[in-house]
A and B are shown apart, each in its own frame.
Chain A
Amino acid sequence: AQSVTQLGSHVSVSEGALVLLRCNYSSSVPPYLFWYVQYPNQGLQLLLKYTSAATLVKGINGFEAEFKKSETSFHLTKPSAHMSDAAEYFCAVSDGYSTLTFGKGTMLLVSP
């Protein structure tokens, strides 16, 4: 069985500040990990994915995430937040063969 825990349903940052969204996973097999962003009334857009290659993964829009097996974590970061980053972010885990298991999501709020 797989599960994902996203710490913090809401995260607030100022424009230009560091963004850190936390994700911890549980998986009985080597995981594939994903971060998605969702803007209001839109589908999911893939930000980045970990597929057992490099542990530091760079994605779109300046986001990156680091896979830490010892901590079972896959936190999402961005050095400098933009107003346009305000959205809902979902972490998800897969065994590579079947379904995705999503976290509950974290709403990122960016203030001027």
Chain B
Amino acid sequence: GAVVSQHPSRVICKSGTSVKIECRSLDFQATTMFWYRQFPKQSLMLMATSNEGSKATYEQGVEKDKFLINHASLTLSTLTVTSAHPEDSSFYICSAVLTSGGYNEQFFGPGTRLTVL
């Protein structure tokens, strides 16, 4: 149980285009999902917290107009990278929160490799 999927797993796009990444909780409902970015050989950097039915909360330094987050249902959150540039190339990982045993646990998706040419 507690499986999270991401689509696509890998995407290559041209500079200036927009890319949408989907994060789905397959066997549970998640009021909260998180979006992380990971640079090569580095740790995960939290970008934003996505709450179903409300606006996302962005971490300091993350451009909300560049990284649009929509959490339209209890099983789906999307991250849209708008007007992508080569510096947006990265590994993007989402997680979905399941409350179990009195605490909130995050379950991670397999990640999406974005390459902007």
- Residues of A with Cβ closer than 8 Å to B? 32, 36, 41-46, 49, 51, 90, 94, 96-100, 102-105, 107
Chain A contact residues, majority secondary structure = loop
Nearest B-chain residue to A32, judged by Cβ: B103
Distance between A48 CB and nearest chain B CB, rounded to angstroms: 12
Counted as pairs of residues, one from A and one from B, with CB atoms less than 8 Å apart, the total is 47
- Residues of B with Cβ closer than 8 Å to A? 6, 34, 41-44, 46, 49, 91, 93, 95, 101-111, 113
Nearest B-chain residue to A107, judged by Cβ: B41
Contact for B103 among A96, A103, A105, CB less than 8 A? A96
Nearest B-chain residue to A100, judged by Cβ: B106
Q: A97-B103, A102-B43, A103-B43 are in contact. List 20 more A-B contacts (CB 8 A).
A: A41-B111, A43-B109, A43-B110, A43-B111, A44-B44, A44-B93, A46-B107, A49-B105, A51-B101, A94-B103, A94-B104, A96-B103, A97-B104, A98-B104, A99-B46, A99-B49, A100-B34, A100-B95, A102-B44, A104-B43
